[in-house]
């Protein structure tokens, strides 16, 4: 053929799903929803406090059962601002950019939680900055119940 | 949440829009389907199989296919399944059937929908005919479905 017509085939994948949170995250989300508290799991052997909660301690290989409440205030361990638009599965749509994202170590926890920051300007972020969780008014039992972490000035 | 509800469920949704570049071989296949309601295959020069839908390479011989061949819009049902559980990505409402079809003149199998068919009486070996859409856009669904050839004779 002298002139080939090359096709582009438009495809729109629309994937809706529900995933069960399992035993540990269900407790975490239930307390978050009903009491507005952030709970973590403590290792009975090494005392490490896991947030997000994990079913077992990766170091000691023991199951975790002791729930401890951690603070809603914490310290930024790492941060970034997102400027590239992408689809947010939790929202079901594209999250408006820019937005700040950080690994946050809440007071009383030994591991870090990945969450959004109120601040979206990286020049105003630093490792060690103090932040506090801002809760949603009508909590539903998912990680969106914490809207973002505001900067403590 | 009550004690009898052991788990929370997190709803999620991901929408992924994209364009798939069909390439030279598949483009020609879709253009022939769209403009002439013809089904094209490619012949392997080594094993002489006619491959439908067409491929640039023969996956058995690792040889580039060399020749366009028109195959018939009739064929034989090789395998099938009846879908009874609804899922959002399905092209039709349940219940409906998928067939694995060997078109006359082809040596490979094509997966497509079966239509105008009694779902309880589908049998491998039955003769089928492609039903083309009136408005064709260059998609595998320009063939609406395959229907039993017997339907035509009886009606």
For residue A18, the chain B residue with the least C-alpha distance is B11
> Domains of chain A: which residue ranges?
22-151
**A49-101 pLDDT, tens digit each:** 999 999 999 999 999 999 999 999 999 999 999 999 988 877 778 889 999 99
The predicted structure's pLDDT at residue B52 = 96
Q: Rounded CA gap, A82 and A41, in Å?
A: 30
User: For A21, phi and psi rounded to 5 degrees?
Assistant: -80, -10
Nearest CB neighbour to B27, from listed A5, A21, A26: A5
Burial class of residue A37, CB neighbours in 10 A (0-12, 13-18, 19+) = middle
User: For A124, phi and psi rounded to 5 degrees?
Assistant: -105, 10
Q: Rounded CA gap, B141 and A128, in Å?
A: 57
Chain B contacts in chain A segment 13-32 (CB below 8 A): 13-23, 25-26, 29-30
Whole-model pTM: value is 0.65
The predicted structure's pLDDT at residue A16 = 85
Does ipTM surpass 0.85 in this model?
no
| Residue B151 pLDDT level (bands cut at 50, 70, 90) | low
**B25-62 pLDDT, tens digit each:** 999 999 999 999 999 999 999 999 999 999 999 999 99
Q: A86 in contact with B at a CB cutoff of 8 Å?
A: no
Over residues B129-151, mean pLDDT = 93
**A5-46 pLDDT, tens digit each:** 999 988 888 888 888 888 899 999 999 999 999 999 999 999
Q: Rounded CA gap, B125 and B131, in Å?
A: 19
Burial class of residue B151, CB neighbours in 10 A (0-12, 13-18, 19+) = middle
Please, are residues B116 and B122 in contact by the beta-carbon 8 Å criterion? no
Please say if the pLDDT value at position B154 is more than 90: no
């Amino acid at each position: 053929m002298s002139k080939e017509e090359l096709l582009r085939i438009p495809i729109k994948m629309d994937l809706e799903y529900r995933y069960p949170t399992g035993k540990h995250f269900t407790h975490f989300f239930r307390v978050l929803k009903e009491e507005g508290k952030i709970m973590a799991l403590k290792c009975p052997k090494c005392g490490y406090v896991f947030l997000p909660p994990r079913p077992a301690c990766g170091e000691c290989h023991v199951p975790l059962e002791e729930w401890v409440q951690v603070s809603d205030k914490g310290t930024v361990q790492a941060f970034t601002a997102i400027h590239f638009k992408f689809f947010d599965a939790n929202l079901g749509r594209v999250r408006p950019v820019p937005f700040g994202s950080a690994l946050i170590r809440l007071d009383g926890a030994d591991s870090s939680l990945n969450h959004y920051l109120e601040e979206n300007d990286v020049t105003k972020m630093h490792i060690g900055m103090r932040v506090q969780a801002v809760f949603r008014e009508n909590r539903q039992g998912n990680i969106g119940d914490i809207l973002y972490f505001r900067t403590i000035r | 949440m009550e004690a009898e509800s052991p788990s929370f469920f997190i709803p999620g949704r991901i929408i992924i829009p994209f364009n798939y570049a069909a390439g030279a071989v598949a483009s020609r296949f879709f253009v022939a389907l769209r403009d002439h309601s013809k089904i094209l295959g490619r012949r392997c020069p080594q094993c002489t199989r006619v491959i439908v839908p067409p491929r640039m390479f023969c996956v058995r011989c690792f040889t580039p296919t060399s020749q366009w061949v028109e195959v018939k819009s009739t064929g034989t049902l090789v395998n099938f399944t009846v879908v009874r559980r609804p899922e959002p990505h399905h092209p039709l409402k349940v219940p409906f059937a998928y067939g694995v079809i060997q078109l006359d003149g082809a040596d490979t199998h094509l997966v497509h929908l079966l239509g105008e068919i009694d779902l309880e009486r589908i049998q491998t070996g039955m003769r089928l005919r492609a039903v083309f859409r009136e408005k064709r856009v260059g998609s595998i669904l320009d063939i609406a479905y395959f229907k039993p050839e017997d339907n035509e004779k009886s009606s």
